[in-house]
């Protein structure tokens, strides 16, 4: 993790289909836990694809304001809602305690690593100083490219196309998973972005299945690296950003076949030696 590179102690907070379990965070605060910040991806979270509900957004900003804890809001996927709608950002709800960070890599070019941040003025000033000392500022050419792209209106036309593309991709993958996945396999239902989170029945390890999936022509990211605990062995992240609809249908069918065979093997009775 990025934070681990700076020797930060990281604590995970649970999630459900409505995003971060803010009540769990509140219990930790009440018990004396005081982190430097709370990091959250409210929209179409990587890796789960889930979105933090409005009720929990309001609860989170109220909680962090009460305890004086900064929220780092990552809005990398915010513009990629399938229907073009969005909930209020955390920064819009609490600009005094939220540092919002975004990127152009999802709406301009995947390899274009240029971002931005907004938040409390004293914190943004410190960030600007740190960046200058780290990389001597972002390249002028890249900044000019983004500027001219926006001035020409390409964000206004390109972002809706990206939304429609990802929505179509998810529809194809979702239909394939519904049609082919064996009983006991569940997955998140994203309303934007490019990820879904798949949970297999207990007892299966997605790392052990990777060679079989690779042989079948399917790639996924195991769930374990996304946890700070020893969880995620039977979970995986699927991305639907690159493949087209036909390829996604085939990928879902092939992955379902790999999982179904693994379940059959796990359920088969052991041979008894005579």
Q: Indicate whether 53 pLDDT > 50.
A: yes
Range of the domain at 44: 3-151
Rg for the chain, CA atoms, rounded = 21
> Does 166 share its domain with 229?
yes
Please report whether residue 273 resides in a domain: no
> Does 15 share its domain with 119?
yes
pLDDT band for 274, please (50, 70, 90 cuts): very low
What's the CA dihedral at 117, 121, 126, 127 to 10 degrees?
0
**pLDDT of the residue at 154:** 96
> Does 205 share its domain with 91?
no
The pair of three-digit structure tokens given for residue 40, joined into one six-digit string: 């959250």
CA distance 21 to 12: 11
Number of alpha helices (DSSP H) and beta strands (DSSP E) in the chain = 8, 10
> Does 10 share its domain with 121?
yes
Under 8 Å CB-to-CB from 227, ≥6 apart: which residues? Answer: 12
Average pLDDT for 137-163: 93
Q: Indicate whether 271 pLDDT > 60.
A: no
> Does 146 share its domain with 162?
no
Average pLDDT for 239-266: 96
Average pLDDT for 95-100: 97
Q: How many domains does the chain have?
A: 2
Please report whether residue 99 resides in a domain: yes
C-beta separation of 234 from 201 below 8 A:
yes
> Does 216 share its domain with 253?
yes
Q: Which domain-ending residue is among 151, 174, 206?
A: 151
> Does 74 share its domain with 167?
no
pLDDT digits (tens, 9 = 90+) for 199-233: 999 999 999 999 999 999 999 999 999 999 999 99
CA 248 and chain centroid, separation:
19
> Does 236 share its domain with 141?
no
**pLDDT of the residue at 1:** 60
Comparing 98-112, 158-172, 194-208, which segment has the lowest mean pLDDT?
A: 98-112
- pTM value is 0.92
pLDDT digits (tens, 9 = 90+) for 5-42: 788 899 999 999 999 999 999 999 999 999 999 999 99
């Amino acid at each position: 993790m990025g934070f681990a590179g700076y020797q930060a102690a990281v604590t995970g907070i649970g999630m459900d289909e409505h995003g971060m379990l803010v009540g769990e965070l509140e219990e930790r605060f009440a018990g004396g836990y005081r982190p430097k910040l709370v990091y959250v991806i409210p929209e179409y979270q990587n890796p789960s694809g889930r979105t933090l509900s409005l009720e929990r957004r309001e609860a989170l900003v109220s909680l962090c304001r009460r305890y004086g804890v900064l929220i780092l809001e990552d809005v990398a996927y915010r513009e990629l809602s399938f229907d073009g709608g969005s909930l209020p950002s955390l920064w819009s709800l609490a600009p005094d305690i939220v540092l919002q960070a975004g990127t152009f890599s999802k709406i301009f070019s995947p390899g274009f690593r240029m971002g931005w941040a907004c938040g409390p003025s004293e914190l943004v000033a410190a960030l600007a100083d740190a960046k200058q000392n780290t990389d001597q500022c972002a390249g002028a050419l890249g900044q000019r490219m983004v500027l001219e792209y926006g001035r020409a209106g390409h964000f206004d036309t390109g972002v809706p196309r990206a939304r429609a593309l990802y929505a179509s991709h998810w529809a194809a993958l979702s239909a394939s998973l519904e049609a082919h996945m064996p009983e006991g396999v569940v997955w998140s239902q994203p309303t934007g972005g490019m990820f879904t989170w798949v949970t297999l029945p207990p007892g299966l390890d997605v790392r052990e299945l990777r060679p079989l999936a690779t042989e079948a022509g399917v790639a996924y990211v195991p769930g374990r690296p996304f946890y700070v605990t020893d969880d995620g062995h039977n979970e995986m992240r699927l991305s639907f950003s690159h493949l087209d609809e036909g390829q996604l249908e085939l990928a879902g069918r092939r992955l379902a076949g790999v999982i179904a065979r693994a379940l059959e093997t796990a359920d088969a009775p052991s041979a008894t030696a005579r």
